[in-house]
């Protein structure tokens, strides 16, 4: 029965119709398809495959492949979209879906069916998914280049490529094949107004959830109490799922970037790093707040927190059209280095520390990443191929444009280190927000979550 309950959720509308929900219409997806088709040559055919269905007994409900959903809006598994920019019959967008079948739908949820694929999802033609292999050769007739996104289904990929190459049996080399991803990802990098509204809702709901977590904070409680407060608030607000596994690390766990166990008892003298956010209407937020378990910052905690907050503000200030991506990170790194030098936690020449990136022992990650249909969204950063991971954000040359969305998330993490006074050990601080590039600068979508020290302490006190 649990599988039935989960399965029935699969085909609910991709965006819940709660009050204040951003509206996503068929025109939203039609615009994405047309932009994608415009990038294809007339002698090309594109095939996009839905994400495979999981048959595990545990886990979230089915989530559609982001590229497939971006172009179709269809949240069903076992679906294939074929896009034909040069279709002589005018059928440029063809969907293959599962037919209506109440006996099956009673167990696994409602289906669009062939008529729904056309009436509700804008397909020029629709066929049963079982007919894809037989019809593909006809649909691809006269085309010379196949663009493919396989949705992570390796078996489908192999079968499709066999069919594609069978159409040119006398050739000595495989027929031309290209990844449709780069074209779709270039489009996904700049969000339209509907996408921005969905991001705004995801970030706003996540910010509200962080307030709920702060109110739930108590010495002696376990990390998962904060996780539960946030997940509950997000689900109650219409989120289908969290955007990534919540990270709630206290004390020595606060210096672990992707700590996921969330099962430690929180002690009064410790800091908590809470990196948790939800996905709303398929769009992800990414938000982190850090605060003292006691509800009041100690002098050492406050000193580190103030550096990170100042670094984040410097990074957000850099977010505007024309700024090169790496300059956002550089702005945060300069503030972090200056602050740590002042506290004596770094030593040496400022410029050499920045050039050598030796500060990475305490600030080991980049300040930003793209965000959208994935928490680490697709799109070029403009850095050379094969570059060392630690250098990426210092060499990322993509220029920001209105509609792009990114995080700004500096952090300082001080582990046990014989070279550092013990009073600083186990202090981890990361402050992260989801930020939208606007025509004139930046809009912080999640800054309703308290950041200033007084606001953080006040929010924690509200729960007591």
Kindly state the average pLDDT of the residues 321-346.
98
Average pLDDT of the segment spanning 243-256 = 97
Q: What is the mean pLDDT of residues 328-342?
A: 98
Question: In whole angstroms, how large is the CA radius of gyration of the chain?
Answer: 24
Over residues 238-246, the mean pLDDT reads 96
pLDDT, mean of residues 163-188? 87
Q: What is the pLDDT of residues 291-322, one digit of tens each?
A: 999 999 999 999 999 999 999 999 999 999 99
Task: Give 54's pLDDT tier (boundaries 50, 70, 90).
Answer: confident
Q: Which long-range contacts (CB under 8 A, 24 or more apart) does 458-462 make?
A: 459/211, 459/214, 459/215, 460/214, 460/215, 460/217, 460/291, 460/295, 461/295, 462/214, 462/215
Would you place residue 172 in the very low, low, confident or very high pLDDT band (cuts 50, 70, 90)? low
Q: What is the pLDDT of residue 304?
A: 98
- The residues, ordered by sequence, that sit 6+ positions from 364 with a Cβ below 8 Å of its Cβ are 257, 390, 413
Q: Is the pLDDT of residue 79 over 80?
A: yes
- Residue 302: in which H helix or E strand, if any? helix 299-318
CA distances from 316 to 213, 325, 327, 451 (A): 24, 12, 11, 13
The stretch 366-380 carries a mean pLDDT of 97
Measured at the alpha carbon of residue 445, what is the angle toward residues 238 and 369, in degrees to the nearest 5? 100
Write down the H helix ranges in 11-147: 26-38, 66-72, 102-108, 113-119, 132-139
Dmax over CA atoms of the chain, in Å, equals 77
Structure tokens at 457: 């302490």
Burial 255-291 (b: 16+ CB within 10 A, else e): beeebeebebebeeebbbbbbbbbbbbbbbbbbbbbb
Query: Tokens in use for 45?
Result: 């055919």
Please compute the mean of the pLDDT values over residues 125-129 and round it to a whole number.
Answer: 98
- In this predicted structure, the answer to whether residue 2 has a pLDDT above a threshold of 70 is no
Lowest-pLDDT range of 163-172, 335-344, 386-395, 409-418: 163-172
Render the burial of 48-80: b for 16+ CB within 10 Å, e for the rest: bbbbbeeeeeeeebbbbbbbbbbbbbbbbbbbb
Domains and CATH numbers, the chain: 2-188 (3.40.350.10), 190-462 (3.90.230.10)
Residues 6+ apart with CB under 8 A from 103: none
Q: What is the mean pLDDT of residues 156-179?
A: 85
Q: What are phi and psi of 282, to 5 degrees?
A: 85, -10
Give the pLDDT band (50/70/90) at residue 381. Answer: very high
For the beta sheet containing 288-292, the strands, ordered from the edge strand earlier in sequence to the opposite edge, are 247-250, 271-275, 288-292
The per-residue b/e assignment along 387-416, b for 16 or more CB within 10 angstroms, e otherwise, is: eeeeebbbbbebebeebbbbbbbbbbbbbe
Q: How confident is the model at residue 166 (pLDDT cuts 50, 70, 90)?
A: confident
How high is the mean pLDDT of the chain? 93
Question: What would the mean pLDDT of 157-181 be, rounded to a whole number?
Answer: 86
CA distance 437 to 401: 6
Highest mean pLDDT pick, 3-17, 160-174, 450-464: 450-464
The helix/strand/coil state of 368 is coil
- pLDDT computed for residue 11 by the predictor: 36
pLDDT of residue 60: 76
- Comparing 58 with 283, the larger pLDDT belongs to 283
3-state SS class at 458: helix
13 pLDDT exceeds 70? no
Across 183-201, average pLDDT: 97
Mean pLDDT confidence for 229-247: 97
Strand runs labelled E in 402-456: 405-408, 411-414, 427-430, 433-437, 442-444
Residue-wise pLDDT for 84-126, tens only, equals 999 999 999 999 999 999 999 999 899 999 999 999 999 999 9
Token pair for 220? 């002696």
């Amino acid at each position: 029965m649990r599988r039935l309950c989960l399965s029935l959720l699969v085909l609910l509308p991709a965006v819940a119709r709660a009050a204040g929900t951003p509206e996503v219409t068929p025109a939203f997806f039609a615009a994405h398809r047309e932009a994608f088709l415009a990038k294809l040559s007339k002698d090309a055919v594109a095939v996009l495959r839905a994400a495979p269905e999981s048959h595990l007994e545990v886990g979230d409900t089915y989530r559609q492949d982001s590229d497939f959903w971006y172009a179709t809006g269809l949240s069903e598994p076992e679906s294939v979209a074929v896009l034909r920019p040069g279709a002589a019959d005018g059928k440029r967008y063809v969907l293959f879906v599962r037919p209506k079948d109440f006996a099956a739908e009673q167990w696994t949820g409602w289906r669009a069916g062939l008529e729904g694929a056309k009436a509700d999802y804008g397909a020029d033609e629709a066929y049963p998914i079982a007919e894809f292999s037989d019809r593909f050769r006809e649909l691809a007739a006269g085309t010379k280049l196949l663009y493919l996104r396989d949705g992570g289904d390796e078996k489908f990929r192999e079968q499709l490529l066999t069919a594609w190459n069978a159409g040119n049996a006398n050739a000595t080399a495989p027929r031309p094949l290209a990844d449709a991803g780069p074209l779709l990802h270039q489009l996904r990098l700049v969000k339209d107004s509907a996408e921005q509204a969905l991001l705004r809702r995801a970030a706003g709901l996540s910010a509200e959830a962080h307030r709920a977590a702060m109110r739930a904070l108590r010495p002696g409680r376990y990390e998962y109490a904060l996780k539960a407060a946030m997940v509950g608030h997000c689900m109650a607000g219409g989120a289908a799922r969290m955007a990534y596994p919540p990270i709630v690390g206290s004390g020595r766990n606060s210096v672990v970037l992707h700590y996921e166990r969330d099962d430690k008892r929180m002690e009064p003298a410790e800091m908590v790093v809470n990196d948790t956010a939800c996905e709303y209407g398929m769009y992800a937020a990414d938000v982190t707040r850090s605060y003292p378990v006691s509800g009041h910052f100690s002098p050492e905690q406050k000193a580190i927190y103030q550096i990170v907050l100042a670094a984040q503000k410097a990074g957000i200030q850099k977010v505007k059209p024309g700024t090169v991506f790496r300059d956002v990170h550089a702005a945060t790194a300069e503030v972090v280095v200056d602050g740590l030098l002042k506290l004596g936690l770094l030593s040496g020449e400022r410029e050499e520390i920045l050039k050598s990136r030796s500060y990475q022992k305490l600030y080991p990650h980049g300040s930003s990443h793209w965000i959208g249909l994935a928490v680490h969204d697709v799109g070029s950063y403009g850095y050379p191929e094969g570059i060392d991971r630690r250098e990426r954000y210092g060499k990322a040359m993509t220029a920001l444009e209105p509609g792009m969305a990114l995080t700004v998330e500096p952090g300082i993490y001080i582990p046990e280190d014989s070279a550092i006074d013990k009073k600083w050990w186990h202090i981890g601080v990361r402050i992260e927000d989801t930020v939208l590039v606007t025509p004139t600068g930046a809009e912080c979508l999640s800054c309703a979550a308290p950041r200033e020290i007084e606001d953080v302490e006040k929010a924690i006190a509200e729960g007591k």
